[in-house]
Amino acid sequence: MARCCGLALLVTLVACGVAPAASVEPEAAAPEETPTPAGPGCPATVDTLSLGGLTTVEALKGPALMVVEKQARRIGLYRQGALVTLSGAPACWPVALGVTDAGAYPPGPKVRQGDRRTPEGLYATSDKPWSSFKNAIAVHYPNAADAAAGLRSGLITQAQHDAIVAAVKAGKKPSQETRLGGEILVHGGGSAADWTWGCVALDDAALITLRAALPAGMVAEVLILP
């Protein structure tokens, strides 16, 4: 199976991986939603997250926030800072992350194209219906912090940095074709073991449930923690 993501030059070839459409369930209606005090593994509120300076708690209390905890290999859905329940179950699911060609998980934040790492930080999201993975959600990596780091390291030019920052401020997906890499997705395909190129992979049924609880166009935010 082709893996995903972080290689912008390969997006036209693998479109972040290959998953037969027949293996993915059709879109579901939005499930009944109620607040929940706790979930299996996911923190009950964003107040207890270890943010490591990536953002502030106040910035995380919007209407639709996905939180990926890389070390714990899980993703949760929060509203106004609290983990929600969808159809009687906490909105918390296992995920798989990236591996290198040697089969090892590459820890740390994404730095450059091809490093197979999952970014760390707060990002906007949107739908990506043209991905080879049906129902994929696009993560708007790189953000302004990623651009600043890339500029300091010489990976991108000042013009590229400024264009990324302008796109983020305008609520648009920044360029995916710099040396920082791109095409990071939340998609299906399975969570049993790490296998992607830096994307966040859920089981297909979990992805359908998550999508049904997000706003139209998957316009939301995702916080990715170490």
Domain limits, the chain: 8-15+45-218
Specify the pTM: 0.85
What's the rounded Cα separation, in Å, for the pair 177 and 182? 7
Q: Residue 70 — φ and ψ, nearest 5°?
A: -60, -50
Q: Write out the CATH class of domain 8-15+45-218.
A: mainly beta
Q: HSE on the CB side for 62, CA within 13 Å? A: 16
pLDDT by residue for the chain (226 residues), tens digit each?
445 654 433 433 333 433 333 332 233 333 443 333 334 589 999 999 999 999 999 999 999 999 999 999 999 999 999 999 998 889 999 999 999 999 999 999 999 999 999 999 999 999 998 888 999 999 999 999 999 999 999 999 999 999 999 999 999 999 999 999 999 999 999 999 999 999 999 999 999 999 999 999 999 999 999 9
- Determine contact, residues 24/37, Cβ cutoff 8 Å: no
Give pLDDT, residue 118.
98
Q: HSE on the CB side for 24, CA within 13 Å? A: 22
Place of tokens 């820890």: 107
DSSP for residue 50: -
- Determine contact, residues 65/213, Cβ cutoff 8 Å: no
